[in-house]
Amino acid sequence: MEYGRRKSGGSSATVCEVPYVPDAEIAGICKTYGNDKHRMLDILREVQDRYRCIAPSTMEKIAASTGLTRIEVEGVASFYSFLSLTPRGRISIRLCDDIVDRYSGLEEVTKAFEDVLGIEVGETSSDGAYSLEYTPCIGMCDQAPAAMVNDVVLTRLTSESARSFAEALKAGQSPEHLVSDRFEVLTPHDRALRMVDNNIRHAGEVLLGPVPDDAGLNHAVGMTPTQIITAIEESGLRGCGGAGFTTGRKWRFAASERAEKHFVICNADEGEPGTFKDRVLLTERPHLVIEGMSIAARAVGAREGILYLRGEYVYLRDLLQQVLEERRRRGLLGENILGVKGFNFDVRLQLGAGAYICGEEGALISSCEGLPGEPKTRPPFPVNRGYLGYPTVVNNVETFCHAARILDRGAKWFHDMGTEGSHGTKLFSICGDCLNPGIYELPYGHTVWEILERVGGEDAAAVQVGGPSGTMIARDSFHRKLTFDDLATGGAVIVFNGERNILEIVEYYMSFFVHESCGYCTPCRVGNVFLQKAIQKFRKGLANPEDVEYLKDLSGTIIETSRCGLGMTSPNPVLTTLQNFPLVYSAVTKPSKDGIRDTFDIQSAIDGARKIAKRRSYIFDRDFTQ
Amino acid sequence: MSGTRRETGFSFTIDGVEVTAYAGQTIMEAADEAGVYIPRLCDHQGLRHQGSCRVCTVKAGGRSVAACTQPAAPGQAVENETKHLNKMRRDLVEMLFHEGNHLCPICEASGNCELQAMAYRLDMTETTRFPYLEPCRPLDASHPDIALDTNRCISCGRCIRASQDVDGKGVFGYVGRGIHRRVAVNGENLAETDAEVTDHAISQEVCPVGCIIRKRVGFVTPIGEREFDQGLIGQEIEEKRK
Ligand code: SF4
Ligand code: SF4
Ligand code: SF4
Ligand code: FES
């Protein structure tokens, strides 16, 4: 469908035979998860992995085992991009279709795969061996173009490397062997490093510098929950996911809520195109992440935690499982942690399945509960009633890491870094048209210019701060500062040079939001499609000056009436470019002739008929000699 | 119902009119009781609140919120009938028209349709600037007594909640995501489900548009004598105040 993205997974998969699935096997999978409907995502992921799709008959069986209706199972199965109701290939190749990948040669890479495999993007080969599709940003913008091949990540693809990978797959090699022929014997950490570079360009004092093992947790066990919360409050730590809510206050709210149980959830679902900092922390500081969660658990009295890992980072699953195991073995998770009586806490890893919206707190909780990733109605807030109705602290990876470090080094140490209102350091993931894309840990307060000098992006013409839902600024704003009070960001900085087409970028971002809207509420579900179409009109040169007003007006409605942060920010690419790059829009707008709108394109309107009739129109074809 | 609740009652204002509410009530519930109508499509009496159409958007303490899910708060100043809010609401109603395929003149819900009535109430009298999405949606006439024309479905989910919570069945549910999110039935088609024409979910009051159709009763009431031919939608609530 036109308002979807360029052919992506899901809707247009070639139908091949649905494999026969014995009921007993499905029942077995369900049983592994205690026939618990809240573990639906795990159940469906496993069915998908094993049978390449979630066929109608399996849905019925799953429903019967978990006490749901078939339509409820289908609701979940049809929500997530990585799950499919029609068979995918045994090897599923997902090319990352981020704007940065497009600017780094995605087209040639796609072509190479298509050539060798003999299928087009969106198709599955007739023998069911491969499927090829696009997927939105997988968090590898610093080494684009990238792709996921089943659970394996390939980076820095070129048409040559893509061709040889595709040939190897065709010759029967497993995706793992594309990475290393010794894959099986490598440690999970080595495997991750073989696939993905960390690109740490600047290590700061808090997160990426030397970090002693469990120093924060050791301090925390000697403190009362109130003391821990006070320390976090005094440090000035704010959530690093983008919204910037004061972490200490969040913990205090959750701690003061009387309930049978409390939960701590780590949001490892960074999905904002251009963000990849959590990926690096999860690879290089996984213990620190869990340490931070354990401290939060002690502060709010939680016994259970969930680490929600985005489906795109499945390559880190083994690594994280290993870390959890190790911590259990060392008495850092489980009963009586560090010998402290009654300090019980354990973490379960929950994998997502391809849905950007699950980075939203409520949607993430829904997903953990085995539901489609739809945001929850607020109030109640998660700190009052979150996961399964219990008070829940949700923080992102970076925030938990900071918390652990604050407990080690003290609130003042952290508070003294950065600026007023934005304390401490921040991980910036920087990519696009610059010499040194990667991760920079810097205190808050740097200007965009300073950042650009550091990364070798001085010839930038536009910088996207905070990903698509953030702000696109032009050179005249590069003096602005990266802080909560000026240019707030979850960490993504994307650099574009003067050769890039701003409207193309905006259209890409809008199609991203159209693809990722959960569809719950009208303005976001429908309005973003209209915005995307309006931008297309500008790009085709068919817009009139009034269309600028239309863009602003429609954006206003979407922002004001949407139910969650996605819709409240999705028009930002349009609004911030209108504001900061007005000439780009005026250059392609022209007043309509004779009051007649120029939007109707007779050429394309008659194209279908022309093809069917195998004749051309004497009246309308511009140049009949063609 | 009254005795204890009245004691915990508090007041707030809607467009300057003082309204009484009780702890736990939403803005819309309090407004309904006080005879102030807030436009709505996905919310329906007796069903869980969903908060998805956003037509009930009001300003409470300066913030835009959905009146059907937002709890009333003491002393709060709520804006409802303002030019700005009605314009937003009209945009949303227009979005719903453009998202599906609506041909009122040939629709059997015409005159009984809440979407159409809302368009009249919100003064949607001119052609809009929104593009038509013209989706290709199926018609399910498999069931002996019920038909489903999802071309007119506005995804309000009222049928889903009615079937689940009132009928205890779960005949309907959402599938898909984003613009592809749709209402679907619990089986191959409607005939394969346990839907019955006597279900609350199938009754005339649940589906606000002409999507869930009871066979052989169409046009029993002639156009001109239908519900919203008599007056604006929301009138019966507003009449409480007079
Ligand atoms: S704003 Fe978008 S993502 Fe958020 S609830 Fe509405 S449709 Fe879903
Ligand atoms: S459902 Fe309502 S709005 Fe749609 S065509 Fe029928 S009468 Fe018109
Ligand atoms: S079928 Fe009717 S009640 Fe059900 S979601 Fe669609 S419009 Fe609402
Ligand atoms: S009536 Fe409140 S959102 Fe639909």
Q: What is the pLDDT of residues A499-533, one digit of tens each?
A: 999 999 999 999 999 999 999 999 999 999 999 99
Q: How far is CA A530 from CA A123, B14, B73, in A?
A: 28, 32, 35
Q: How many CB pairs under 8 A join A and B?
A: 120
Q: What gap in Å lies between CA B201 and CA B167, rounded to an integer? A: 7
Ligand nearest to the CA of A569: 1
Closest CA to A290 of A220, A186, A229: A220
Chain A residues touching B180 at Cβ < 8 A = 1, 4, 11, 519
Gap from B65 CA to chain A (nearest CA, Å)? 7
Q: What is the 3-state secondary structure (H, E, C) of A517-584?
A: CCCCCHHHHHHHHHHHHHHHHHHCCCECCHHHHHHHHHHHHHHHHCCCHHHHHCCHHHHHHHHHCHHH
Question: For residue A625, what pLDDT is reported?
Answer: 59
Residue A560 Cα to ligand 1 midpoint, Å, equals 12
Chain A residues whose C-beta is within 8 A of a chain B C-beta are 1, 3-4, 11, 56, 69-72, 74-75, 78-80, 355, 372, 377, 379, 514-523, 525-527, 529-530, 533, 550, 554, 557, 560-563
Position A569 pLDDT exceeds 70? yes
Q: How confident is the model over A36-49, as a mean pLDDT?
A: 97
Question: For residue A616, what pLDDT is reported?
Answer: 78
Chain A residues touching B51 at Cβ < 8 A = 377, 521, 563
Question: For residue A13, what pLDDT is reported?
Answer: 42
Atom number, ligand 1, closest to the C-alpha of residue A375: 5
Strands A304-309 and A263-268: parallel
Q: Which residues of A5-20 are buried (b: 16+ CB within 10 A; e: fewer)?
A: bebbbbebbbebebee
Chain B residue with minimal CA distance to A1? B135
Token pair listed for A383: 């700190």
Judge whether B64 and B57 are in contact, CB under 8 Å. yes
Closest CA to A355 of A243, A277, A270, A281: A270
Position B81 pLDDT exceeds 70? yes
Question: For residue A318, what pLDDT is reported?
Answer: 97
Ligand 3 contact via B155 beta carbon (within 6 Å):
yes
Position B3 pLDDT exceeds 70? no
pLDDT per residue as tens digits for the range B152-166 = 999 999 999 999 999
Question: For residue B126, what pLDDT is reported?
Answer: 86
Q: Which of B92, B131, B175 sits opposite A75 (nearest CB)?
A: B175
Question: For residue A598, what pLDDT is reported?
Answer: 58
Q: Do B92 and A523 touch (CB under 8 A)?
A: yes
Position A366 pLDDT exceeds 50? yes
Of the pLDDT bands very low, low, confident and very high (cuts 50, 70, 90), residue A611 is confident
Atom number, ligand 4, closest to the C-alpha of residue B42: 4
Of the pLDDT bands very low, low, confident and very high (cuts 50, 70, 90), residue A597 is low
pLDDT per residue as tens digits for the range A170-229 = 999 999 999 999 999 999 999 999 999 999 999 999 999 999 999 999 999 999 999 999
In one-letter notation, the amino acid at residue A68 is: L
Number of other CB atoms surrounding residue B46 within 10 Å:
12
Question: For residue A5, what pLDDT is reported?
Answer: 44
Q: How confident is the model over A532-556, as a mean pLDDT?
A: 95
The mean predicted confidence, pLDDT, of chain A is 94
Q: In what order do the strands lie in the sheet with B10-14?
A: B17-21, B10-14, B77-79, B57-60, B63-66
Residues 74-113 of B with CB under 8 A from A: 88, 91-92, 95-96, 98-99
Position A554 pLDDT exceeds 60? yes
Rg, chain A, Cα only: 25
Residue B115 Cα to ligand 4 midpoint, Å, equals 13
- How far does CA A442 lie from the centroid of its chain? 23
For chain A, the distance separating the N- and C-terminal CA atoms, rounded to the nearest angstrom, is 29
- How far does CA A438 lie from the centroid of its chain? 17
Question: For residue A567, what pLDDT is reported?
Answer: 98
Q: What is the 3-state secondary structure (H, E, C) of chain B?
A: CHHHHHHHCEEEEECCEEEEECCCCEHHHHHHHHCCCCCCCCCCCCCCCCCCCCCCEEEECCEEEECCCCECCCCCEEECCCHHHHHHHHHHHHHHHHHCCCCHHHCCCCCCCHHHHHHHHCCCCCCCCCCCCCCCCCEECCCCCEEEEHHHCCCCCHHHHHHHHHCCCCCEEEECCHHHCEEEECCCCHHHCCCCCCCHHHCCCCCCCCCEEECCCCCCCCCCCCHHHCCCCCHHHHHCCC
Q: How confident is the model over B114-133, as a mean pLDDT?
A: 94
Residues 195-224 of B with CB under 8 A from A: none
Closest CA to B204 of B188, B228, B181: B228
Chain A residues touching B132 at Cβ < 8 A = none
pLDDT per residue as tens digits for the range B45-72 = 999 999 999 999 999 999 999 999 999 9
Question: For residue A622, what pLDDT is reported?
Answer: 65
Q: What is the 3-state secondary structure (H, E, C) of A581-605?
A: CHHHHHHHECCCHHHCCCCCCHHHH
Q: What gap in Å lies between CA B152 and CA B148, rounded to an integer? A: 9
Judge whether A280 and A205 are in contact, CB under 8 Å. no
CB < 8 Å & 24+ apart, contacts of B5-13: B10/B72, B10/B74, B10/B75, B11/B74, B11/B75, B12/B72, B12/B73, B12/B74, B12/B75, B12/B76, B12/B77, B12/B78, B13/B76, B13/B77, B13/B78
Closest CA to A248 of A259, A240, A237: A237
Of the pLDDT bands very low, low, confident and very high (cuts 50, 70, 90), residue A1 is very low
Position A160 pLDDT exceeds 90? yes
Gap from A564 CA to chain B (nearest CA, Å)? 11
Nearest CA owner, ligand 2 atom 8: B104
Question: For residue A428, what pLDDT is reported?
Answer: 97
- pTM of the predicted model, to two decimals? 0.94
Residue B55 Cα to ligand 4 midpoint, Å, equals 5
Ligand 4 contact via B55 beta carbon (within 6 Å):
yes
Atom number, ligand 2, closest to the C-alpha of residue B210: 1
Q: What's the DSSP call for residue A376?
A: P
Question: For residue A432, what pLDDT is reported?
Answer: 97
Question: For residue A16, what pLDDT is reported?
Answer: 40
* ipTM > 0.90, yes or no: yes
Q: What's the DSSP call for residue A481?
A: B
Q: What gap in Å lies between CA A403 and CA A397, rounded to an integer? A: 10
Token pair listed for A466: 């905070």
Of the pLDDT bands very low, low, confident and very high (cuts 50, 70, 90), residue B8 is confident
pLDDT per residue as tens digits for the range A260-279 = 999 999 999 999 999 999 99
Residue ranges of the alpha helices (H) in A82-222?
Answer: 99-102, 106-117, 159-170, 175-179, 188-195, 215-221
Of the pLDDT bands very low, low, confident and very high (cuts 50, 70, 90), residue A12 is very low
Gap from B225 CA to chain A (nearest CA, Å)? 31
Which of A288-302, A403-417, A480-494 has the lowest average pLDDT?
A480-494
Residue B43 Cα to ligand 4 midpoint, Å, equals 5
Q: Do A377 and B51 touch (CB under 8 A)?
A: yes
Name the more confident of A82 and B128: A82
Q: Do B180 and A11 touch (CB under 8 A)?
A: yes
Which residue bears the tokens 């589906």?
Answer: B207
Rg, chain B, Cα only: 19
Strands A418-419 and A422-423: antiparallel
Judge whether B47 and B166 are in contact, CB under 8 Å. yes
Q: How confident is the model over A27-50, as a mean pLDDT?
A: 97
